[in-house]
Amino acid sequence: MSEKNIYLPYLMRIAEITEESPAVKTFRLEFVDDVAAQSFDFKTGQFGLYSAFGEGESTFCIASSPTRKGYIECTFREVGRVTAALADKEVGDIVGFRGPYGNVFPLEDWKGKNLVFIAGGIALPPLRSVIWNCLDLRDWFKDITVVYGARRVADLVYKRELKEWSERPDMKLVTTVDPGGETPDWTGKVGFVPPVVEQLGLSAENTVAIVCGPPIMIKLTLPVLQKLGFPPEAIFTTLENRMKCGVGKCGRCNTGKSYVCKDGPVYTLAELNQLPAEY
Amino acid sequence: MEALKQRAIELLEKGEVKAVLGYAKGTGQARRAFFARQPGQVDKLVLDEACTQNLAAYATKHEVKKLGRVAIVAPPATQRALIQLMAERQLRDGDLAILAVDEGAIKELGSAAALEEHLALKAQGLDAKDKTLLAKLDAMSREDRWAYWQNEFSRCMKCYACRNSCPMCYCEHCTMDCNRPQWVPVASHSIGNLEYHMVRTMHLAGRCVECGDCGRACPVGIPVHLLTISAEETVHELFGQRAGAKAKLDYALSTFKTDDKESFIR
Amino acid sequence: MANTYQLSRESLTSLFGALRKDGRRILAPVESDGRIGLGEVEAPAQVAGDYLQTIMSAKEVAFPKVERLLSYTITPGQVDLKDAEPKAAPTVLFGVRPCEAKAFGALDAVFNWDYRDKFFNARLEKLAVIGLSCTKADEACFCTSVGGGPADTAGSDILLTPVADGYLAEVLTEKGTAILNLASDLFKPGNGVDKVAVAAKVEAAFDQPALTAKLPGMFDSEVWVDQSLRCIGCGACAFVCPTCVCFDIQEEADPKQGERLRCWDSCGFHMFTLHASGHNPREVQSARWRQRIYHKFSYYPQRYDQLGCVGCGKCTRACPVDMNLKEHLTEAAGVTA
């Protein structure tokens, strides 16, 4: 009896393409196979390997919320061979998807707490999944705050959703761009993410912080959160080590005893402190 | 040997270098590269016929450059590699303290000019075994030679020991590692192996200092050095130029001359 | 509880015949141009006479250097995927050393924890190992420092230990019994030979449990930098290693069709962890060398309750710059925190 081939992707049809910012696109993907569509399920925080047939696979998070059924979304920046090929695709084209892989954000544990999401640049997609998930389960949580920064206004992704979030009464959105990155009609803040977080007057009391961004932003934001009194167990992030298999075999994402593809990508700062800083 | 150790200690004590890169005893009868970073470690240095590795391969490595100025124990093949690295602007005159070793005698060469002068006195000869094998390959029919190399390459697994041991393979982004476009397949199948070795050979034609380290490095005993050596000899034959002789060089394969004897280039 | 038998040297010819008649190919160490490698044989006479070890490990029998994972054809608006089936021929691995036989366990641990790898499994399922105890060792060997031994039975279905006129044969598993049943008349009652007396003497070089215990505390030790200064970052060690399992997945395609290939990879390559952005979590060779040591001696035990090293010494023998693993582990074990 032959076992299942764990490297075989689902075939997905591109249902919608959104241009988010220069070289950044969001795909909405629908399963070609109805049976797969019915049985597929994932939790927020998980990721997948997306194939451009002819070029290979690339790893990104699932950027949509599991509460939105029938499709998944991914957002990617064109940086390499596979993402360049994906960027050339059009609506109706077929791509591959393997997943969902990895661990999840523990939403059950966050019930009754305040949530602070802090994201920088292209790192909003993993948080977008969990933000929508939390908004769709709004009564589980107390205050929800989102801080999102990018270098320039043009680099902000999900602009339509940012507008929607800014208008929602049940959450607070703070957007910021780096000094010099503002446009004349920019109404958000100007400044780097860490000081913006510091000035928000957040309370660490009964609050979890979910941080995702470029390494430098994370590096400078963590001390701010610790200064505000967030214990390492209440700070979550998601790692983006290079991966090939996604199923704990190929060794590429191995960091300490952890396989980011299996034990991650979601880690608390307390967990990260136990790992060598090889991410 | 004593003179070498003496000088190594002096260089380290005076702070003229941060490390002396030479050879030390390795596993069994083997010799290995050794970085003496304190005067107390100099005693480990050895020098004999078993010291074959071309240490110039380390001269361009980030990790080694980070140490600071290094003195390098340089038998003739290493000397040639160092001057070729200067010709290719990977090393500047004076970057390294060169402790040239020829038949046991140590000579410190302070400048590219001194190295050039020193090398001019040395006849460059191929290893007798390699000479025999090269002659044998030359005598083969094209089909037999093709079959010979296909058989040899079938053992290749693309560990890149040949590339990484080569002093002239210093590229930060090797063609083999480029995937936009994917010039050469990554997989170690017959085409992937063949293309890799062809590209490596072509990239070393006119640049190979004939040290043979790539062949020695191969864990499965493919005589890959014969490829680059024969390409080097061909360039020498056609253009009268040899790698590893001059610190300033117009590289034969990238030099345009209006009086070139080939008509296609005019 | 091994069943122990005597097998005469002459009877191997009949054993090989019985195995082949059963439809199995026999892979054994053979000599070619002075190199010892695995090759298909029909008769015992073709097996290399006096060898310490093969250069390459036996892992390629279950985990080849290149392997197709899937293929596809592309037509406008459509992709047709095709699953790949591993070519798994019934195979007997004859005469591999106990260290290598044991290594299949380390590969199995990675390929089959949680998700199961059908490619590895299909081959392993059809593989039987007739190990051969070592009567000699070299300076690279250190099986006894990592819980193995020159006559260790782990991983072998049958272990042969050379004795006068033949072999002591320990039949260890169901697969071994199946082989025995193919030619049961060849396996004579055992005579209680002391195999330890026959086997090579390999002195333990370092205290591995102590090393494993101290590794987490010496991550930032200078010893990794010192040892790795001469490492040239090639993949020879990983590719000859019987337990190194890291791989790459590569696409080979034209506009109409393509395939996805699994290829051996190495944590020693700087490209291994390099992100498309240019960021590299293991930027320098010392970090990569440390990863090799830690993966085998710290992460494996934490994760799979076994080591990722069998002490075969192949990496040391293959290394172009003489990175001697036994020596470097011994040195690390002696570092005072």
- Identity (one letter) of the amino acid at A203? S
User: C56-112 pLDDT, tens per residue?
Assistant: 999 999 999 999 999 999 999 899 999 999 989 999 999 999 999 999 999 999 999
Residue A264 counted as domain residue: no
Q: Which of C240, C263, C319 sits opposite B187 (nearest CB)?
A: C263
Give yes or no for residue B104 having a pLDDT over 90. no
Q: Which of C35, C228, C248 sits opposite B220 (nearest CB)?
A: C35
For residues A75 and A97, give the distance between their C-alpha atoms in angstroms, rounded to a whole number.
13
For range A228-241, the mean pLDDT: 95
Among chain A residues, the shortest Cα distance to C77 is held by A93
Q: Does A94 lie in the same domain as A47?
A: yes
Best probe of the C interface among B67, B157, B162, B176, by most C CBs < 10 A, is B157
**Between these two residues, C42 and A278, which has the higher pLDDT value?**
C42
CATH of the domain at A212: 3.40.50.80
Please name every residue paired with C128 in a beta bridge, in sequence order, or none if there are none. C92
**Residues 229-248 (C) with a CB less than 8 A from some CB of A:** 245-248
Distance from CA of A190 to the nearest CA of B (A): 37
Give yes or no for residue B266 having a pLDDT over 70. no
- Across the interface, do C118 and A4 touch by the CB < 8 Å criterion? yes
Among chain A residues, the shortest Cα distance to B182 is held by A81
Q: Quick check: A23 contacting C, CB < 8 Å? A: no
User: C254-307 pLDDT, tens per residue?
Assistant: 999 999 999 999 999 999 999 888 889 999 999 999 999 999 999 999 999 999
Cis peptide before A169 (omega within 30 of 0): no
Domains contained in chain A, number: 2
Q: Does A223 lie in the same domain as A150?
A: yes
- Across the interface, do B63 and C324 touch by the CB < 8 Å criterion? no
Residue A270 counted as domain residue: no
User: What does the DSSP 8-state code read for residue C190?
Assistant: P
Cis peptide before B181 (omega within 30 of 0): yes
For residues B77 and B56, give the distance between their C-alpha atoms in angstroms, rounded to a whole number.
9
Residue A259 counted as domain residue: no
pLDDT at C1: 45
Any idea which residue has 């590893």 for tokens?
A: B244
Q: Does A112 lie in the same domain as A79?
A: no
Q: Does A114 lie in the same domain as A97?
A: no
Distance from CA of B246 to the nearest CA of C (A): 26
Among chain B residues, the shortest Cα distance to A85 is held by B180
Q: Domain boundaries in chain C? A: 3-62+71-334
Q: Which domain holds residue A196?
A: 108-238
Half-sphere exposure of A188 (CA within 13 A, CB side): 30
**Residues 72-111 (A) with a CB less than 8 A from some CB of B:** 80-81, 84
Give yes or no for residue B264 having a pLDDT over 80. no
- Tell me the angle at which helices C325-334 and C285-294 cross, rounded to the nearest 10 degrees: 90
User: What does the DSSP 8-state code read for residue B123?
Assistant: P
Closest among C21, C226, C8, C241 to C110, alpha carbons compared: C241
For residues B80 and B135, give the distance between their C-alpha atoms in angstroms, rounded to a whole number.
24
Q: Which of B30, B164, B188 sits opposite C233 (nearest CB)?
A: B164
pLDDT at B252: 86
- Mean pLDDT, all residues of chain C: 96
Q: Which of A3, A7, A54 sits opposite C121 (nearest CB)?
A: A3
pLDDT-based confidence at C190, cuts 50/70/90? confident
For residues C52 and C143, give the distance between their C-alpha atoms in angstroms, rounded to a whole number.
13
**Residues 239-278 (A) with a CB less than 8 A from some CB of C:** 240-242, 244-245, 247-252, 254-257, 262, 276, 278
- Across the interface, do A249 and C281 touch by the CB < 8 Å criterion? no
Q: Does A228 lie in the same domain as A116?
A: yes
Give yes or no for residue C192 having a pLDDT over 80. no
Q: Does A143 lie in the same domain as A172?
A: yes
Q: Quick check: B179 contacting A, CB < 8 Å? A: yes
Q: Does A183 lie in the same domain as A117?
A: yes
Q: Quick check: B180 contacting A, CB < 8 Å? A: yes
| Structural domain ending residue among the three candidates A46, A68, A101 | A101
- Across the interface, do C235 and B160 touch by the CB < 8 Å criterion? yes
Distance from CA of B58 to the nearest CA of C (A): 8
pLDDT at B256: 80
User: B128-151 pLDDT, tens per residue?
Assistant: 999 999 999 999 999 999 999 999
pLDDT-based confidence at B37, cuts 50/70/90? very high
Q: Name subunits touching A (3+ CB pairs < 8 A).
A: B, C
pLDDT-based confidence at B103, cuts 50/70/90? confident
Residue A153 counted as domain residue: yes
Q: Which chain B positions have a beta carbon within 8 Å of A80's beta carbon?
A: 179-180
- Across the interface, do B179 and A81 touch by the CB < 8 Å criterion? yes
For residues A177 and A120, give the distance between their C-alpha atoms in angstroms, rounded to a whole number.
9
Residue A190 counted as domain residue: yes
Size of interface B-C (CB pairs under 8 A): 103
Give yes or no for residue A75 having a pLDDT over 90. yes
Q: Quick check: B173 contacting A, CB < 8 Å? A: no
Q: How many CB atoms lie within 10 A of CB C35?
A: 16
Two tokens at C7? 């097998």
Q: Does A227 lie in the same domain as A145?
A: yes
User: What does the DSSP 8-state code read for residue A2?
Assistant: P
- Across the interface, do C236 and B221 touch by the CB < 8 Å criterion? no
Distance from CA of C125 to the nearest CA of A (A): 11
